[in-house]
Structure formats: structure tokens, C-alpha cells
Copies of this chain bind each other. A is one copy, B any other.
């Protein structure tokens, strides 16, 4: 089911700038037992992203209402919200009066095996790099060719995620997830001021670390540093937290700290 500007439709004018230029942003929200997980945080991030891209954000109350309407359809599902700059303007120049397009769509919950959570996943490094761009960094925008090309690098079904570096050889995140590692009893994740997506679960994990006085820092790191980590995990709004049990040839335990964060996250939903 799809709602476009509040109406049940599934096609959009090709003149929409979301299609012409990827001129918009999106949110992917888990629906669990009919409940929209972290809905407020997603709507806040959407609003912040709209501000960064100079798109007038649709009313958050209206979005929440439409989201709830869709969430009633299925107990377990994924809700995607897309907001674009709408139609108009001349070339890249935005229209003088912007009327944003909003699209809410319901998707099946992916049937990931339960053991991804319990025993961890296998990951690899991707060749495709994240471009450095401070004006777009952190925003969940619709320009996702880097992720599409990175995800196209492997088809081995045993590998669940690819980790991406930026142009300065710094490991930033997964194609569809944020990345954390534990080293010497501290939690580390990459800063997202030059590339990457500021994930809702990533932010929650950092909050949980602070709440529990667990040392946490944002710092850049290399592939070698990551391979020398004690524990690794990735997060996103649909998977929650997956430990990484294997990266390239190296094996990692689903360690005690990863289990702690998994338990803290589960309790905070």
C-alpha cells in the first residue's frame, strides 16, 4: 500500500524532482506488532534533513497520522517515508514556491534468519568509496548510487553486509548500516561529518553507552584497526543490531559487550 500526498496511489509524475535529481530524502521505519519503532526520532531526523536540503518539511503530525494508518495494515512490516522537493524549478534551480511530495509505502519485513542476531553475520570490505561531502553527510537523502554500486560488488549469499571506506581510506559504515567496534573495553564509531548516514539506532547506541557510563568515542579508523578490534557490530532501524562474526578472513566472537548493547537496545525499544 502506498500513500502519495495522502492519497492511495502508486505512480508519481516523472517531473517530480525526486525522480529527476534524487532531490529528496527518506526514512525506513520498522513496524513491530503494529508499533512504529522510533517513529519520533525518524520524524525528527526527516525534519532536520529537510532543513539541510532547504525542503519545507511536511507537517510531522500529518506524517505520523499517515504512518499510523499504514501501520494498522500489518503487524510486522517496514514503512518507508520519502519526501521530495516536488515538481518545478528550472533545471537544478529549485522552484520559487516548493510544495514537497510525501510518499509513505508499506513493505514486507525482510525474513532475516534469527541466527544473524545471535551468531552474527559475515561482512566484507567494498571497493566503492563514499564521496566526501560535508553538505550531504549524515543526511538520509535519495542520492544512493554509491550504496547501489557497493552492494553490487558481491552476490555471495553468505555475506550479509559490505563495509565502505571514504576517499581517505577511513572505514565509515556499511552499505545499509552503521558500524561500531569494541577495543580495550571502549566503543568506537566513525564521525559522520564528511560522509555516511546518521542512523537512528546508531544514535541510540551512543546514548545507551553514555547512559551506562560505557566509554564511547567518534573517531576515524582504518581497515587494519577494524580487523584488530575485539568485537564488531552493525546497526540499522530494521535489523536493530547484528554482531559481525567474520570480516574478510578474520573471525570475531559475539562478545560480552556486544551482547550488553544488544540487551540495552532491546529494552529501549
Q: How far is the CA of A4 from the CA of B141 in the complex (A)?
A: 25
Given known A-B contacts A11-B12, A151-B91, A135 and B143 have beta carbons under 8 A apart: no
Chain A interface residue count, CB cutoff 8 Å, equals 54
How many copies the complex holds: the figure is: 2
A128–B134 Cα distance when bound, in Å, is 9
Q: Is A99 an interface residue (CB 8 A)?
A: no
A80-100: which have CB < 8 Å to B?
A: 82, 85, 90-94
Across the interface, A19 reaches (CB within 8 A) one of B12, B131, B133, namely B12
Check: A147 CB closer than 8 A to any chain B CB. yes
The residues of B that contact A23 with a CB separation of less than 8 Å are 144-145, 148
B90 adjacent to A110 (CB under 8 Å)? yes
A residues sitting closer than 8 Å to B (CB atoms) are 2, 4, 10-23, 26, 53-54, 82, 85, 90-94, 103, 105, 110, 128-136, 141-152, 167, 175-176, 195
A-B contacts, 13 of them at CB < 8 A, read A2-B14, A4-B14, A10-B13, A11-B13, A16-B19, A20-B142, A22-B144, A23-B144, A53-B145, A53-B149, A94-B148, A129-B133, A136-B149
